[in-house]
Amino acid sequence: MSEVIATNQTILVVGGGISGLTAALEAAECGKQVILLEKSPSVGGRVGQLHKYFPKLCVPSCGLEIQYRRLKANKNVRLLTMAEVTQISGDAGNFTVNVKVSPRYVNENCTACGECGKAVSAEFDDEFNYGMKKRKGAYLVSHMAYPQRFVIDPRIVAGDDGAKAKEACKYGAVELDMQEQNLNLNVGAVVWATGWKPYDAAKIQPYGYDRYDNVISNVEFERMLDPFGPTGGKIVRPSDGHAPKNIAFIQCAGSRDQNHLKHCSRICCMATLKQTTYVKDQLGDNCKSTVYYIDIRAIDRIDDFHRKVKEDANVTFVKSKVANITGGENGNVILNGVDTEGYNRYRTEHDLVVLATGMESTVPAGVFPAGININEHNFIELDGDSGIYGAGCSSDALDVNRAAQNATAAALRAIQVVTRVAGQEG
Amino acid sequence: MSDMNQAMVEKYRSSFLKEVEANVEEGHWVKMCMQCGVCSGSCPLGPHWEHPPQEIFMMIRAGKREDVLSSSSMWMCTSCYNCIARCPRGLPITHIMHGLANYSKRLGLQPKNQPTAKFSQLFWNNLTKTGRVNELKLGLSLYFMNGIGPGIKTALKMQDVGLGMLKTGRLNPLEILGGHSIKDKSGLQKMLKKAFEIEEAKIAEYKG
């Protein structure tokens, strides 16, 4: 790996999802030096795993591609993948950041030809598809991976598969003796944009995510729509692979709940409304959707979207937080509860349940210097003088649009810090 | 303000919510309910409630005093704590239900012949007499709760259980003569009397 040059006029952006990319690019296009770190082998984050954006229902890969082109064209950004921050010390204008870079075992000669993937045989759960599918031990994270470079899974490096991958590579790109690296970076400001992860649905015990095959999470449902995804783009029941006829969407699955995430995750109402349009587009009148909700939080311009979905005769809304889910016949499940509009007790059978799981912050413990204010929801609170700024879903539960706006604001705060440093240093 | 205005203000004043907050155990939580319905759906006795907890909370906020306090609903609670475990807002629903039942009893508004209310009264009388529960007398008073005829019937039905308990020393037949007691019986009764007076004074203004 070539040397990474950083000074206290450098901005460090941690996380290569839509927020991190945006913050890094906005700062770099203002002429600042930026180092962008990404933990996984490819940037793109959660957005890359989405089928469509709400409310415009356009394809996220389009926006990502624009960001990748900006990234490629900009000499001020240095991207490091498979890199994780382990410790930050110091103050605004002068931070020391310890970074651990895991070996990819593939160097820059890689052309993503795919020969190594064909040569190896061991398969592992595909993280990009939430384990709904297997991938090879030598793999490209996704078709949209950036950089377009394969990765060798550390679990095959020492075995036969590792040797096979090396042998198959015509470009000498496979380097099985690559080692973990530890870097010490001196930077002026940090934009923290490690984003979110879906709340672990198995923790919502009454909903039986771990007990019933046909209870899935909304991020898994999203993956089903990808033509290259685990189901080849088809909406199916995991238990038998048949198309569902009667889907239930359960809102606030893990959000707005003292037993789980206290905060409102903000995106799940719109995500579900959006997903009912997938059902409509693919299955038409052959499938009904029922949305169980406490209240639908689709405000201002996205309210139009909500109204439009309500006009769909195949979509029903039930104002009720489902109390529990029990097993039924043929892999079906039964939703039990009492609605709030009339206090009617229901016991409704569905053949597929999609839990609109909440957004859990991934801000880590034990990394930041003292004084960084992380709130009870594990989001970084804004402190103008701290030099460390949360961006996107590290600062609050946000949709893509608001995450990008928030990241731009964080970039501006970081720019102010390094500009002040530059002024002092003359 | 005109009389009509006053009347309207009175109509919409949520005085019952304030009354509940002042007099019902954990009553200050009622305003925190967000009407998701998880408590009602989680209640194992739910189908037997006239108004599920979530509806009771809404009725309190809507000022339906008589309907709430004379309802049999909160007397149906078996303290399984499913609702408390699942409530996303952390409301101590079980305790609120007991608080409401207790308050309606103090005001004399509980449904007539409500078995839980009757049993609670029997238990309380039994306990406060000596400061100790007299299990023999409590059992017998339960048998005869609904009159002599059904009492004898129940006693006959239960005689094997009773004899078994006698044999294994789980039931002392001498308890019928008055039973064991705490050391300072009259002290306890004085204390309870005083507490009762204080409580009565507190709710005097709410008594119809």
B148 and B128: one domain?
yes
**Scanning every residue of chain B, which has its alpha carbon at the shortest distance from the alpha carbon of A205?**
B86
- Whether the model pTM is above 0.80: yes
CA atoms within 13 A on the CB side of A282: 19
B interface test, pick of A256, A321, A345 with most B CB neighbours within 10 Å: A321
**Does residue B106 form part of some domain?**
yes
- Other Cβ atoms within 10 Å of A71 Cβ, number: 19
* Tens digit of each residue's pLDDT, chain A (426 residues): 457 788 889 999 999 999 999 999 999 999 999 999 999 999 999 999 999 999 999 999 888 999 999 999 999 999 999 999 999 999 999 999 999 999 999 999 999 999 999 999 999 999 999 999 999 999 999 999 999 999 999 999 999 999 999 999 999 999 999 999 999 999 999 999 999 999 999 999 999 999 999 999 999 999 999 999 999 999 999 999 999 999 999 999 999 999 999 999 999 999 999 999 999 999 999 999 999 999 999 877 789 999 999 999 999 999 999 999 999 999 999 999 999 999 999 999 999 999 999 999 999 999 999 999 999 999 999 998 899 999 999 999 999 999 999 999 999 999 999 999 998 876
**Scanning every residue of chain B, which has its alpha carbon at the shortest distance from the alpha carbon of A258?**
B88
Considering only CA atoms, which of A267, A249, A258, A247 is closest in space to residue A322?
A249
Dihedral, CA of residue A239, residue A243, residue A246 and residue A247, to nearest 10: 70
Could you give the ipTM of this predicted complex?
0.88
Cβ within 8 Å of B, A 335-394: 336-340, 343, 345
What is the dihedral sign for C-alpha B138, B143, B145, B151? negative
B interface test, pick of A264, A343, A348 with most B CB neighbours within 10 Å: A343
Contacts of B155 (CB under 8 A, 6+ apart): B140, B143, B162
Contacts of A139 (CB under 8 A, 6+ apart): A117, A150, A151, A153
Dihedral, CA of residue A211, residue A213, residue A217 and residue A218, to nearest 10: -160
**Scanning every residue of chain B, which has its alpha carbon at the shortest distance from the alpha carbon of A294?**
B36
B123 and B167: one domain?
yes
Considering only CA atoms, which of A168, A144, A297 is closest in space to residue A227?
A144
State CA A406 to chain mean position distance. 16
CA-to-CA distance for A241 and A297, rounded, in angstroms? 32
The per-residue pLDDT of chain B, averaged, comes to 92
For B165-205, give the DSSP string.
HHHTTSS-GGGGGT----S-HHHHHHHHHHHHHHHHHHHGG
pLDDT for res B12: 66
Q: Which residues of B touch A260 (CB under 8 A)?
A: 88
CA-to-CA distance for A305 and A424, rounded, in angstroms? 51
**Does residue B94 form part of some domain?**
yes
Which of the listed residues B53, B84, B110 is the one where a domain comes to its end? B110
Angle A30-A34-A37 from CA coordinates, rounded to 5°: 140
pLDDT for res A2: 54
**Contact between chains at B89 and A323 (C-beta distance less than 8 A):** no
**Does residue B89 form part of some domain?**
yes
**Scanning every residue of chain B, which has its alpha carbon at the shortest distance from the alpha carbon of A319?**
B36
pLDDT digits (tens, 9 = 90+) for B32-86: 999 999 999 999 998 999 999 999 999 999 999 999 999 999 999 999 999 999 9
Pick from A323, A343, A345: which is nearest to B38 by CB? A323
B138 and B48: one domain?
no
**Does residue B76 form part of some domain?**
yes
**Contact between chains at A323 and B37 (C-beta distance less than 8 A):** yes
**Contact between chains at A320 and B37 (C-beta distance less than 8 A):** yes
B26 and B105: one domain?
yes
Q: Which residues of A touch B88 (CB under 8 A)?
A: 252, 256-260, 321
DSSP 3-state of B156: helix
Say if residue A147 is preceded by a cis peptide, omega within 30 of 0.
yes
**Contact between chains at B38 and A340 (C-beta distance less than 8 A):** no
CA-to-CA distance for B208 and B204, rounded, in angstroms? 9
CA-to-CA distance for A403 and A399, rounded, in angstroms? 6
Contacts of B22 (CB under 8 A, 6+ apart): none
Map tokens 């311009």 to a residue. A301
B126 and B104: one domain?
no
Q: Which domain holds residue B137?
A: 115-203
Domains in chain A with CATH codes: 10-102+180-195+362-425 (3.50.50.60), 115-168 (no CATH), 198-359 (3.50.50.60)
Pick from A257, A259, A343: which is nearest to B52 by CB? A343
Q: How many domains are contained in chain B?
A: 2
Question: What is the CATH number for B25?
Answer: 1.10.1060.10
B50 and B126: one domain?
no
Which of the listed residues B110, B125, B151 is the one where a domain comes to its end? B110
pLDDT for res A184: 95
**Does residue B3 form part of some domain?**
no
Contacts of A420 (CB under 8 A, 6+ apart): A93
Contacts of A303 (CB under 8 A, 6+ apart): none
CA atoms within 13 A on the CB side of B201: 6
B70 and B20: one domain?
yes
User: Residue B171 pLDDT more than 90?
Assistant: no
- Other Cβ atoms within 10 Å of B147 Cβ, number: 8
**Does residue B4 form part of some domain?**
no
What is the dihedral sign for C-alpha B114, B120, B123, B124? negative
- Other Cβ atoms within 10 Å of A4 Cβ, number: 16
**Scanning every residue of chain B, which has its alpha carbon at the shortest distance from the alpha carbon of A254?**
B88
**Contact between chains at B41 and A294 (C-beta distance less than 8 A):** no
pLDDT for res A314: 98
CA-to-CA distance for A291 and A309, rounded, in angstroms? 11
Pick from A258, A259, A339: which is nearest to B37 by CB? A339
A interface test, pick of B33, B38, B89 with most A CB neighbours within 10 Å: B38
**Contact between chains at B35 and A294 (C-beta distance less than 8 A):** yes
User: Smallest CA–CA separation between B108 and chain A, in Å?
Assistant: 28
Pick from B36, B40, B90: which is nearest to A258 by CB? B90
B122 and B89: one domain?
no
State CA A360 to chain mean position distance. 10
CA-to-CA distance for B117 and B101, rounded, in angstroms? 8
**Contact between chains at B41 and A257 (C-beta distance less than 8 A):** no
Q: Which residues of B touch A256 (CB under 8 A)?
A: 34, 88
Dihedral, CA of residue B36, residue B37, residue B38 and residue B39, to nearest 10: 130
**Is the model more confident about A405 or about B203?**
A405
A283: part of which helix (H) or strand (E)?
A: helix A268-283
B96 and B165: one domain?
no
Contacts of A346 (CB under 8 A, 6+ apart): A318, A320, A335, A336, A337, A338, A339
DSSP 3-state of B157: helix
B33 and B90: one domain?
yes
User: Smallest CA–CA separation between B37 and chain A, in Å?
Assistant: 6
pLDDT for res A337: 97
CB-based burial of residue A5 (10 Å sphere; 0-12 exposed, 13-18 middle, 19+ buried)?
exposed
Angle A143-A145-A146 from CA coordinates, rounded to 5°: 145
CB-based burial of residue B38 (10 Å sphere; 0-12 exposed, 13-18 middle, 19+ buried)?
buried
User: Smallest CA–CA separation between B44 and chain A, in Å?
Assistant: 11
What single-letter amino acid sits at A264? C
B132 and B190: one domain?
yes
**Contact between chains at B54 and A337 (C-beta distance less than 8 A):** no
Q: Which two tokens stand for residue A48?
A: 């890359």
**Scanning every residue of chain B, which has its alpha carbon at the shortest distance from the alpha carbon of A253?**
B88
B100 and B49: one domain?
yes
Pick from B35, B36, B47: which is nearest to A345 by CB? B47
pLDDT for res B1: 58
B interface test, pick of A338, A343, A348 with most B CB neighbours within 10 Å: A338
Cβ within 8 Å of B, A 229-258: 252, 256-258
**Contact between chains at B46 and A337 (C-beta distance less than 8 A):** no
pLDDT for res B13: 66
**Does residue B47 form part of some domain?**
yes
CA-to-CA distance for B111 and B70, rounded, in angstroms? 6
**Does residue B5 form part of some domain?**
no
CB-based burial of residue B164 (10 Å sphere; 0-12 exposed, 13-18 middle, 19+ buried)?
exposed
In the beta sheet, which residues pair with residue A191? A13, A389
Burial B122-137 (b: 16+ CB within 10 A, else e): eeeebeebbbeebebb
Which of the listed residues B90, B110, B130 is the one where a domain comes to its end? B110
